[in-house]
Amino acid sequence: MKKFLSVLALLLLVCFALTALVACKTEQKDSLVIYNWADYIFDEDLNEFKQYYKDVTGKNIDITYVTFDTNETMLTRLTKGDSNVDVVCPSEYAIQKLIELDMVEPLYYFDEQAYTDSFVSVNKDKYVHNSENVEPGIIEKVSASDTFGEIEITAEGANKGKKVSMTDYFVPYMYGTLGILYNKYAFERAGIYDEETLNKANWGILFNDDGEGNLLSDKLTGNILMKDSIRDSYAATVFYLYERGKLDGLTDDNGVPYADMSAGELINAVDDNLLEAVKDALTEQKQQLFGYEVDFGKDDLLMGNAIVDLAWSGDALYAVEESWNDELNDGEGDYELAYYVPHTTGNIWFDGWVVPKTHDPDHLDAIKLFINYLNTATSAAENSLAIGYSPAVKASVMLADEDAKATLAEGYAVYAPELWDVVDESGAPLAQEDCDFASWEEFELYFFNNSYFDEEGNEVCYDEISHSNWRYPFAGAEQNADNYRNIDSLGVMRDFGTQNKAVVTAWNYSRSAGVNALPMLGWTALAVAVAVGALFLAIWFKYLKNSRVRK
């Protein structure tokens, strides 16, 4: 009997083990490690991707999402080799750096066959390749000779000296422009809010220069914010020097006149002559500044602490829409912000996805499906809504997709019952007058064209100064190529390369120049004297008290 019970127990144990093994195998999930900027994806988008992954592969997936705050932090982590991530989203110059260091794999996203050849578990009958959804203007900019048309791999190894194109290595995600965020009504009160005045000053607005070396307005002095960012401040200053004619007659180290350079060539010229000019201009500019900022410039403008800020288009978009709040008032009348990209020259930037060579090879299907999923119309609409920047997916793709339109209509409180149930957070119906936009047509004009219909039925650009579509500059450039904005006037910035240390040195000098240590020493000495005096009085009073007690 005991032998029978032992055999039975053994059989039960084996059955249990086999059942557990089958269960483990059934519950096994694929994995993906994403390294991205903080707050740079719609939260629910990751869950929606999991469902997309299940539909295309039949398998579940676990996602590990890790964030970084600067390109430099990301580069340090990757170059040290202490980060096992599968896919990362750097800015354009950081992607250039990673390619030069031979640290990323070619993807060939714009060659569907090459991109999908490696698929192992993907059901290709359910897979739709989305490369044609990408804005071609970005690819053209990246491929230009003065940007990333040819990158040489400099790292030691079999690929050293090889020249490659960035378009083979990355997939665009978000992009935007660098420009000027300002208070429209403060400018009106200063007498400088008109097309002729501001389009003559252009980047000089940040330097309180009217374009001819005169003060644009004394009301700007002490009310200008500059980015605490080497690259952005360098670009804005170079453009200012160029349009003011301060670079006329000067050449780079190869004898090429700065005045003959394109916008892209200008901001990528970092030779000693230009660095000296930029350093002097930034040092002189400090007399006009309220201060330097990275994340809080839009808030300072919304609170009325300053009236001008060097800004990125996504932050500007947020601030402009926030300024429509009726409760905002600076005490002197209406309050509204606007974003202006000078029509002379400008900077356009982008972030994109790359795959480090240290990625897990078993995750390659997940990596490629994730990148491709982000170029769907719905994902682009959701991320544009959540982040505020322009997705690399073409506007026309989102306009042709009902789900994408419904996402935007609900997110922007558009009265469009044909797209979504027009209700508030509690589920109660919203009347047309309670919505931010009275119809989808009105919203479409604003969001995709940066325009509206006036009382006479004429289409008018929200940006009265430069008449530019700053959310979709490529579309705007086509519409206004003969006026105000030409896409060639927007340059892409490369890595500073061997001149990086020299640029940092010039920037640090400009940031600290003019700071007099004597006043600080004087106040410090006074504080010490007060503290010593207070201590002496305390001791003296204690002595008198003790003296009286003894008596």
Mean pLDDT for all residues in the chain: 86
Q: Please report the pLDDT score of residue 533 as a whole number.
A: 53
Nearest to 103 by CA among 86, 82, 78: 78
Distance in angstroms (rounded) separating the CA atoms of residues 149 and 115? 20
Burial grade of 546 (CB within 10 A; 0-12, 13-18, 19 or more): exposed
Partner residues linked to 171 by β-bridges: 353
Antiparallel, parallel or unpaired: β 163-164 and 308-312: unpaired
Q: Tell me: the pLDDT tens digits for 403-424?
A: 999 999 999 999 999 999 999 9
Q: Please report the pLDDT score of residue 304 as a whole number.
A: 85
Q: Please report the pLDDT score of residue 481 as a whole number.
A: 45
The arithmetic mean of pLDDT across residues 430-452, rounded, is 94
Q: Please report the pLDDT score of residue 526 as a whole number.
A: 44
521: its two tokens: 């020493």
Co-location of 335 and 237 in the same domain: yes
Q: Please report the pLDDT score of residue 76 as a whole number.
A: 93
Co-location of 338 and 276 in the same domain: yes
Co-location of 324 and 372 in the same domain: no
Q: For residue 551, is it within any domain?
A: no
The arithmetic mean of pLDDT across residues 480-497, rounded, is 78
Last residue of a domain, which of 351, 379, 399?
Answer: 399
Co-location of 330 and 387 in the same domain: no
The arithmetic mean of pLDDT across residues 520-541, rounded, is 46
Spell out the residues 6+ positions from residue 540 whose beta carbon is closer than 8 angstroms to its own: none
For 54-109, give the secondary structure using H, E and C. HHHHCCCEEEEEEEECCHHHHHHHHHHCCCCCCEECCEHHHHHHHHHCCCEECCCC
Q: How sure is the predictor about 328, in pLDDT bands with cuts at 50, 70 and 90?
A: low
Contact 461, 450 (CB under 8 A): yes
Q: Please report the pLDDT score of residue 303 as a whole number.
A: 85
User: Poorest-confidence range of 13-17, 313-317, 324-328, 353-357?
Assistant: 13-17
Co-location of 228 and 156 in the same domain: no
Q: For residue 105, is it within any domain?
A: yes
User: Poorest-confidence range of 99-113, 275-289, 290-304, 319-333?
Assistant: 319-333
Per-position b or e across 507-534, b if 16+ CB within 10 A of its CB: beebbeeeeeeeeeeeeeeeeeeeeeee
In this model, does residue 390 exceed pLDDT 50? Answer: yes
Q: Which domain holds residue 279?
A: 176-343+490-512
Co-location of 296 and 391 in the same domain: no
Number of domains forming the structure of the chain: 2
In this model, does residue 309 exceed pLDDT 60? Answer: yes
The arithmetic mean of pLDDT across residues 533-547, rounded, is 48
Q: Please report the pLDDT score of residue 295 as a whole number.
A: 79
Co-location of 74 and 208 in the same domain: no
Q: What is the CATH number of the domain that holds 316?
A: 3.40.190.10
Q: How many CA atoms lie within 13 A of 128 on its CB side?
A: 10
The arithmetic mean of pLDDT across residues 477-505, rounded, is 79
Contact 31, 40 (CB under 8 A): no
Query: Greatest CA span in the chain, whole angstroms?
Result: 108
The arithmetic mean of pLDDT across residues 317-342, rounded, is 77
Q: How sure is the predictor about 343, in pLDDT bands with cuts at 50, 70 and 90?
A: confident
In this model, does residue 427 exceed pLDDT 70? Answer: yes
The arithmetic mean of pLDDT across residues 270-278, rounded, is 94
62: its two tokens: 């676990």
The arithmetic mean of pLDDT across residues 524-545, rounded, is 48
Distance in angstroms (rounded) separating the CA atoms of residues 188 and 179? 19
Contact 237, 288 (CB under 8 A): no
In this model, does residue 32 exceed pLDDT 70? Answer: yes
Q: Please report the pLDDT score of residue 324 as a whole number.
A: 84
Q: Please report the pLDDT score of residue 542 as a whole number.
A: 47
The arithmetic mean of pLDDT across residues 541-547, rounded, is 43
The more confident residue out of 324 and 433 is: 433
Q: How sure is the predictor about 380, in pLDDT bands with cuts at 50, 70 and 90?
A: very high
Q: For residue 539, is it within any domain?
A: no
Co-location of 147 and 213 in the same domain: no
Q: Tell me: the pLDDT tens digits for 59-105?
A: 999 999 999 999 999 999 998 876 789 999 999 999 999 999 999 99
Helices (H), 117-194: 136-143, 184-189
Co-location of 198 and 147 in the same domain: no
Co-location of 144 and 40 in the same domain: yes
Distance in angstroms (rounded) separating the CA atoms of residues 386 and 412? 11
Q: Please report the pLDDT score of residue 464 as a whole number.
A: 81
Q: For residue 537, is it within any domain?
A: no
Q: To the nearest whole percent, how much of the chain has pLDDT over 70? A: 84
Alpha carbon 363 to its chain centroid, in Å, reads 27
In this model, does residue 7 exceed pLDDT 80? Answer: no
Q: For residue 533, is it within any domain?
A: no
Co-location of 116 and 210 in the same domain: no
Q: For residue 442, is it within any domain?
A: no
Q: For residue 481, is it within any domain?
A: no
Q: For residue 550, is it within any domain?
A: no
Co-location of 329 and 388 in the same domain: no
Contact 488, 262 (CB under 8 A): yes
